[in-house]
Structure 1
Amino acid sequence: MGHIRSGSVAAVAAAVVTGLAGGPAGATGQDQVPCGATALRTAIATASPGATLVLTSHCAYHLTSAYSGDDGLPAVDRRLTILGQGATIVRDSATAGAFRILHVTSTGNLHLEDVTVRGGDAPDDGGGILVDGGGRLTLVKADVVDNAAGGQGGGVEVGAGATAVVKHSWLAYDNADTGGGLHNAGTLSVEDTDFSRNHARTTGGGVDQTGGSAVYSNSLIRYNTAASAGGGLVDDGGTVEFYDGKIANNTSSGLAGGVLNRARLTLIRAEVTGNVAGGTGGTGGGILNTAGGALALRDSLVEGNSANGDSDAHAGGIWKGDATVTLDHTTVRGNASTVAPGGVWTDTPFTVRDSKILYNIPTNCTGSPVVVTGCLD
């Protein structure tokens, strides 16, 4: 795993000092879990509320069959901490049937740290981890990789009314119908996390949101793909705030290479760069804002994106239709499209404050039904 792993070292040392490694750690409230799927399942199933499980350092816990229904491990229905010490919990795809790795129920509260969740394959939602409404998940220094879902959330599914906190983590190579890396309908907080090389068979290659709220800070959404729309990020409901991060090098075979917004999206000190929309109607290389969406960009950059679709592919930078946009101290630069304009296409005026639209091809704004204030051609 590509993260600094230090949070669980003290926990292991405490267990060794007490002489109880391999069993309950008494006053420390920690249990050392031997390296084996049966031991892990037993530990989760029998853990007391508030317990801490310490996995064997760098062990691979191989799951060869479902524990119950579509879940590879016992459902977490109480408060539980799992400290991974670099361990991996993996579904053995060569021999196992289809099941997710972890399931947090409406009464569960799971803190998962320093662990890899790999190879889950849910027939419905949450290929790696499913969080039901009312449940809570905290991921710290976790890798959620190579998971798949038949529905939403290839890596993680945060259900309506659920809460998730993701810090210093990596969600990659996951795939789903929507939300290849993560799907959110609850309350989500993301910090210093990388969503990369995920795929959606329809929308939201990296992340898809259909309700609730999400705040991202110092995070990356990059190199993700979507077959229909929104290679990087889709906001189809609720509110999204994205601070001090990058949405870069994502690709859609249809609309919106980087971002598709139909709800309320705010980008602050963000970069939307190198995204591509291609195929039939491949409009909005960087950002496509439509269907009543409210988009605000502040101190941000939209650069080097392209709309490489057919003869209707406008706006390598930003495309806006039936929606609202505010550009505040933002630059739209060096974007390209098949048909003019390459910079910004809009059907109505929108708010522009101390912003620049320049060096786009074939034009900055000429060819748009409305040329926004301050656009240079």
Structure 2
Amino acid sequence: MRYIRFCSAAAAAAAIATGLTSGPANAADPDRVPCSGTALALAITNARNGETLDLRRDCSYHLMAALPAITRSLTIRGNGATIVRDGAATPAFRIFEVSSGGDLRLKELTVRGGYLPTGSGAGIHVNSGGGLRLSKVDVLDNTAANNGGGIAVDAGGSAEIKSSYVAFNNATQGGGLFTAGSVTTENSEFARNHARRAGGAVFQSGGMTFVGMNVIRRNTAAGLGGGIFIGDGSMEIDDSKITNNTAAGSAGGGIYNNANLKLVKSKVSGNVVGGTAGQGGGIYNTGTGVLLLKGTEVSRNSANGPNASATSISVGGGIYNNGGSVALDHSTVRDNASTSAPGGVFTTNLVSVTASKVTHNIPTNCSVGLVPGCTD
């Protein structure tokens, strides 16, 4: 477990140094949930509002059926444990369902292997009126037919994701996370998730999302937004890295924005859109999109697919703006590339530029006359 392993190793080293060692909690420990999926389900059913359930250290809780829905305030402290759907022979189900009125807090835990041939949120699904808080949690290897392979948050739901790792999840939209609600994610990593349509790591269809001190890397989408797809609502990304994501389709290797997006002191780098006439290797901004970059770097992205025709071309390795609003404030767009010019910033309308540079892109830097101060 990515965010748990270091703490466990440090504790073991301290125990050896002091001469005090102990193995995992055993059946005689009355304060922890016995190491079985059945015992965990029973403990959730019987838990009082506001109770904390402690799991056995490093135990794997194998589930043969879905856990009871969370309808009240409940904290589960994993102590390095894993909650996992037990193998391909078991029925299809998600791991956690948070209903309206439920408030689920997970700590030091792995949630793994949820599978839904229909529906959304194979790892964790938060319904309207429900709340989710993750701290040092790994959400891994979950697959949903529809939205949010790892986590899905409905409109009216909320989630707070801190110091966590969301990886190797799969869905049609939002391989790692799908949200229409209110989400804050800080000091976390979204990696190697896949969307069969859009939003390899994150798909936002409404609400508000804050991304702070995150790494979003090596995610893929068969269509749009290899890293992030923003269809509606607003998102702010602060002090984060969106790197090495890939869209195999037509737009947005790193980010596809159709709403309101603000990037502050962040880096969009090494992303690729590779489809025929692919546009916006780093960022694709649509006609209704509002894009603001403050102190942000867009570098080494590419739109490297073949041209479809003389007018349908792979262009805008750094940023592609199709009639939306773009403002560059103390930001740089450099070392990006595309099959056809320009490789830095392609735009159909005037971009606002304040103390920013568009430079060293190939074949050229920008759409002539539409990016003030930019020259080729």
| TM-score, scaled relative to structure 2 | 0.91
For residues 21 and 349 of structure 1, the distance between their equivalents in structure 2, rounded to whole angstroms, comes to 70
Shift of 1:347: 0.5
Q: 1:347 to 1:58 in 2, by over 3 A?
A: same
For residues 193-342 of structure 1, the aligned pairs below 5 Å read: 193-254=188-249, 255-311=251-307, 312-342=313-343
For residues 286 and 21 of structure 1, the distance between their equivalents in structure 2, rounded to whole angstroms, comes to 55
Unaligned runs of 5+ in 1: 10-19, 24-30, 67-71
Query: Is the 8 Å Cα contact of residues 287 and 321 (structure 2) preserved in structure 1?
Result: no
Query: Is the 8 Å Cα contact of residues 351 and 370 (structure 2) preserved in structure 1?
Result: no
Give the match for residue 117 of structure 1.
111
Question: Tell me, what secondary structure is at the counterpart of 1:237?
Answer: strand
For residues 150 and 118 of structure 1, the distance between their equivalents in structure 2, rounded to whole angstroms, comes to 16
Shift of 1:93: 2.6
State percent identity of aligned pairs.
Answer: 51
For residues 287 and 352 of structure 2, the distance between their equivalents in structure 1, rounded to whole angstroms, comes to 18
For residues 271 and 7 of structure 2, the distance between their equivalents in structure 1, rounded to whole angstroms, comes to 35
Give the match for residue 14 of structure 1.
none
Shift of 1:153: 0.5
Question: Tell me, what secondary structure is at the counterpart of 1:210?
Answer: strand
Question: Tell me, what secondary structure is at the counterpart of 2:129?
Answer: coil
Give the match for residue 356 of structure 1.
357
Amino acid at match of 1:77: T
Counterpart pick for 1:166 among 149, 161, 174: 161
Question: Tell me, what secondary structure is at the counterpart of 2:232?
Answer: coil
For residues 112 and 55 of structure 2, the distance between their equivalents in structure 1, rounded to whole angstroms, comes to 16
Please state if 1:179 is matched with 2:183: no
1:59-79 per-residue CA deviation (whole Å, 9 max, x = no partner) reads 001112x2xxxxx21100000
For residues 2 and 288 of structure 2, the distance between their equivalents in structure 1, rounded to whole angstroms, comes to 40
Amino acid at match of 1:302: V
1:171-202 per-residue CA deviation (whole Å, 9 max, x = no partner) reads 00001000000011111111100000000000
Question: Tell me, what secondary structure is at the counterpart of 2:42?
Answer: helix
Give the match for residue 73 of structure 1.
67
Question: Tell me, what secondary structure is at the counterpart of 2:109?
Answer: strand
Query: Is the 8 Å Cα contact of residues 100 and 121 (structure 1) preserved in structure 2?
Result: yes
Amino acid at match of 1:79: S
Give the match for residue 376 of structure 1.
375
For residues 93 and 103 of structure 1, the distance between their equivalents in structure 2, rounded to whole angstroms, comes to 20
Give the match for residue 39 of structure 1.
39
Query: Is the 8 Å Cα contact of residues 347 and 369 (structure 1) preserved in structure 2?
Result: no
Aligned length: 352
Shift of 1:32: 1.4
Amino acid at match of 2:286: T
Query: Is the 8 Å Cα contact of residues 238 and 264 (structure 1) preserved in structure 2?
Result: yes
Give the match for residue 69 of structure 1.
none
Please state if 1:344 is matched with 2:345: yes
For residues 308 and 370 of structure 1, the distance between their equivalents in structure 2, rounded to whole angstroms, comes to 24
Query: Is the 8 Å Cα contact of residues 122 and 149 (structure 2) preserved in structure 1?
Result: yes
Question: Tell me, what secondary structure is at the counterpart of 1:279?
Answer: coil
Question: Tell me, what secondary structure is at the counterpart of 2:206?
Answer: coil
For residues 101 and 250 of structure 1, the distance between their equivalents in structure 2, rounded to whole angstroms, comes to 27
Question: Tell me, what secondary structure is at the counterpart of 1:164?
Answer: strand
Shift of 1:291: 3.0
Shift of 1:282: 1.1
For residues 294 and 84 of structure 2, the distance between their equivalents in structure 1, rounded to whole angstroms, comes to 41
For residues 146 and 304 of structure 1, the distance between their equivalents in structure 2, rounded to whole angstroms, comes to 30
Shift of 1:374: 1.4
| TM-score, scaled relative to structure 1 | 0.91
Amino acid at match of 2:335: G
For residues 104 and 314 of structure 1, the distance between their equivalents in structure 2, rounded to whole angstroms, comes to 43
Query: Is the 8 Å Cα contact of residues 287 and 317 (structure 1) preserved in structure 2?
Result: yes
1:119-155 per-residue CA deviation (whole Å, 9 max, x = no partner) reads 0012210010000001000000000000011111010
Shift of 1:371: 3.1
Unaligned runs of 5+ in 2: 12-26, 308-312
Give the match for residue 15 of structure 1.
none
Shift of 1:370: 4.7
Question: Tell me, what secondary structure is at the counterpart of 1:309?
Answer: coil
Shift of 1:107: 1.1
Once structures 1 and 2 are overlaid, which stretch shifts more, 85-94 or 101-110? 85-94
